[in-house]
Amino acid sequence: MSSTQGPGLAILEGGPLDTIPHCQDLILEAAHQNFDREAVVSLHQPPLRLAGLDDDHEQSSLRWTYRQLERGASHLASQFAASGVQRGSAIAFFCENRAEWVLLCWTSVLLSCPFVPLNPRLASNVEELRYILAQISPGIIVVIGDETKALLQANANEQLNKTQLLISLEEMDEPGLERDSLWISLANFWLSTPQEKNEANGIIFENTTIIGFTSGTTSLPKACLQSSDNLMTSAIALRDLRSLGPTDRLCQHLPGFAAMTVLMCLAFSISGATIIYPSSSFSASATLDAIEKERSTYILAAPALVKALAMHPTIAQRSLGSIRIVELGGAPIYPETLQLATSKDGLNCERVGCGWGMTESPAPLLAELWERSMPLPTDYIAVGKPVRGTFAKICPPGSQKPAQSGQEGELHVGGPQVVRGYLNGDNGVFYEEAGVRWIKTGDMARVENGQVYIIGRYKDVIIRGGHNISPAKIERTLENVHGVEVRCH
């Protein structure tokens, strides 16, 4: 790691970057090298019993090898193509944590169609739902069951009528739904002879692997078109820095529409590793069961989830020795979280990883692993350094010039992870400098000893007596008061 503009400036670079293969090539290579290894396990789902995918009716829970997953994704891609779905047409999934997430993601990659994982709660938010569907004009919409279908028909029927394929992952049993004219179950579509519909008038996206949406806390969500290079730059860095391989098993308990979840699942897929779904949404007991029963080696969690797991009533009876790495992100990280992750009374993990990213720039910063034998930090935990090909700098608000090392300012990141901009949005936060694409992240941070430390968000800062106060600092102080617990809503 080196400074590029002189001593004492808060700018870091990650070093030269090799050519990045396309994610389709990386996924297929991993599949062919690990045909008989488990690719996906979903403990809360029975086998789907789809021909050629999971024909073993003796299994109590869903388990797919890489051979089965590739075969299933190839078959589904062929069915979609035969139905007239065009290359570059978006495939939207109102998702829960289940195996079909990986199946649909792989299918989208094979078809060169953007995969769009969406929060199923979006279906009840009329304004955001219509806005997002109008932005991406999907060729395919996939839902889990009747409740989401009914909400979509009530709140976005006009958009549904423009969509080529509407697929439900569960059999339709609600008599009020127009099942014959609108929806088809995945099981029926799997075996059907597709009939090509009229060519869709939807949007065709070029060089787009994933479409992610920002949270929309201050406005309508913004669409970020993530290319293979945007994603694979950090997925490969994560694979290499964490030594991911076929023996690793990810306990995937975070929302499937979260940016870091998408990147982590792609990183595990290109590593020939296993993705395990303990439950449809987060459950501390289900996650702990999965770690024990499936010998999970890797979990990704925000500090609040680490606390929920480490303080679970059954933690003392658990055998969690298989965990190799707890990867932290999603909120400022303090020494107390490291203690919960590594303590023998907590998750009992030897190593903790940290990183930073956003939908607009997936994981450009990753830290080296912190090991239990190392001295415990006393303040904020560094989120790391730029990975190869990536840059980071801390600038005074409103400036693009780096501040001095150690000074607090706004984090800017640059490199191949930064997306082209927001779809049909205000792109004032993006800029080009010396051939590098940059984004002003809005995060308050500082650089010390070649590491980036996140302090909080500028839009959350409280100004009191001329001083900037980060709510994260207040929360940390409150957490250390006996009898007070900070809750996230």
Position 374, amino acid: M
* Sign of the CA dihedral with 330 first, then 334, 340, and 343 last: positive
Cα separation of 422 and 444, whole Å?
A: 22
Q: What residue segments make up the domains of the chain, in order of their start?
A: 11-17+282-479, 23-224
Helix axes 259-270, 100-111, angle to 10 degrees: 80
Cα separation of 39 and 69, whole Å?
A: 7
Tokens standing for residue 373: 């034998």
β-pair partners for 395: 410
> Please, which residues have CB within 8 angstroms of residue 147's CB and are 6 or more apart in sequence?
none
What are the DSSP calls for 78-118, one per residue? HHHHHTTPPTT--EEEE--SSTHHHHHHHHHHHHT--EEEE
11-17+282-479 and 23-224 share one fold:
yes
In order of 45, 82, 110, 137, the CA distances from 301 in angstroms are 23, 40, 29, 32
User: What local confidence, expressed as pLDDT, does residue 46 receive?
Assistant: 94
- What kind and span of H or E run contains 416? none
Residue carrying the six token digits 């907590």: 346
Q: What is the pLDDT along the chain (489 residues), one digit of tens a residue?
A: 344 444 589 999 999 999 999 999 999 999 999 999 999 999 999 999 999 898 666 788 999 999 999 999 999 999 999 999 999 999 999 999 999 999 999 999 999 999 999 999 999 999 999 999 999 999 999 999 899 999 999 999 999 999 999 999 987 555 444 444 689 999 999 999 887 665 666 899 999 999 999 975 568 999 999 999 999 999 999 999 999 999 999 999 999 999 999 999 999 999 999 999 999 999 999 999 999 999 999 999 999 999 999 999 999 999 999 999 999 998 888 899 999 999 999 999 999 999 999 999 999 999 999 999 999 988 889 999 999 999 999 999 999 999 999 999 999 999 999 999 999 989 999 999 999 999 999 999 999 999 999 988 776 555 444 444 555 555 655 555 655 655 544
Residue 59 phi, psi (nearest 5) = -75, 140
Tell me which DSSP letter residue 52 carries: T
Buried-state track 261-283, b at ≥16 Cβ within 10 A, e below 16: bbbbbbbbbbbbbbbbbbbbebe
Tell me which DSSP letter residue 201 carries: -
Pairing of strands 430-433, 165-168: unpaired
* CA-CA-CA-CA dihedral for 273, 119, 308, 279, to nearest 10: -50
Residue carrying the six token digits 């940390």: 476
Largest Cα separation within the chain, whole Å, is 70
Find out if CATH 3.40.50.12780 is the number for domain 11-17+282-479. yes
Tell me which DSSP letter residue 177 carries: S
Contact present, 114 and 142 (Cβ < 8 Å): no
* CA-CA-CA-CA dihedral for 23, 26, 30, 32, to nearest 10: 110
Comparing CA positions, the residue from 387, 393, 394 lying closest to residue 16 is 387
User: What local confidence, expressed as pLDDT, does residue 3 receive?
Assistant: 40
Residue 289 phi, psi (nearest 5) = -60, -45
Tokens standing for residue 198: 């009229």
Fold of 23-224: Rossmann fold (3.40.50)
In order of 105, 218, 437, 484, the CA distances from 393 in angstroms are 33, 25, 13, 36
Ramachandran assignment for 357, one of left (phi > 0), alpha (psi -120 to 50 degrees), beta (any other): beta
Contact present, 40 and 275 (Cβ < 8 Å): yes
